[in-house]
Chains A and B, each alone.
Chain A
């Protein structure tokens, strides 16, 4: 069965610290997509990144970076020099293929990140 595990329920850091959010997934599909979404206190889920199963290149976007490793089925997310505005719940998700249709986006339980000034 397909599954996404975010073992860290809550993380608290002080501003300017680096923090890594872990994500481990399970799937039998050879083609799949992984996502990270952010849910700030306002509640709306915001897309951060999408990665397909054939592209293991790490990606950096400003202070955010993602490390995708198929060998360990992990898609970890690092925030460098964290800021208070990064405080949110972060969800890792796996796209399940319903015959080519993204019906079921399987989410992990989320990691609540608190960045203190």
Chain B
């Protein structure tokens, strides 16, 4: 158990809808990352937060947004969903945002857009 909690584990929704994925980092970790894993794109970095502030942005679509709250949990909001957004979404955390930090991953949220 990595200590990173993601909810829900599975989410099935329809095109055009909006969903929110939630992540609680390991106790003491200030940095949160979101990754998307799909068969065609593999594991892709979406966005990183550190202590409530956005730190780095990757291949995140404009329809997607995230935030980190004062209690350090994070939410990833996906809107106007398309079939291609179906993927496994991982949250990870680390103590600091430093380049050499190892990441602790949650078990992921499997999103299916029908």
Q: Which residues of A contact B (CB under 8 A)?
A: 31-33, 35, 37, 42-47, 50, 52, 91, 95-98, 100-110
In the complex, residue of chain A having the shortest beta-carbon distance to the beta carbon of B54: A103
Give Cα A106 to B44, complex, Å: 7
Q: Which residues of B contact A (CB under 8 A)?
A: 2, 33, 35, 42-45, 48, 50, 55-58, 88, 90, 92, 94, 97-108
What's the A-B contact tally at a CB cutoff of 8 Å?
75
Give Cα A104 to B46, complex, Å: 8
Contacts of B44 in A (CB 8 A): 107
With A100-B98, A101-B99 in contact, do A44 and B57 touch (Cβ < 8 Å)?
no
Chain B contact residues: helix, strand, loop or mixed: strand
CB distance from B78 to the nearest CB of A (A): 19
17 residue pairs bridging A and B, Cβ less than 8 Å apart = A37-B105, A43-B107, A45-B105, A50-B100, A96-B99, A97-B99, A100-B99, A101-B48, A101-B97, A101-B98, A103-B48, A104-B58, A105-B45, A106-B45, A107-B43, A109-B42, A110-B42
With A101-B55, A103-B57, A104-B56 in contact, do A95 and B100 touch (Cβ < 8 Å)?
yes
Chain A contact residues: helix, strand, loop or mixed: strand
Contacts of B102 in A (CB 8 A): 35, 47, 50
Taking A43-B88, A102-B100 as known contacts, 8 extra A-B pairs with beta carbons closer than 8 A to each other, sorted by chain A number, are A33-B100, A45-B92, A46-B2, A47-B102, A91-B43, A103-B48, A104-B45, A109-B42
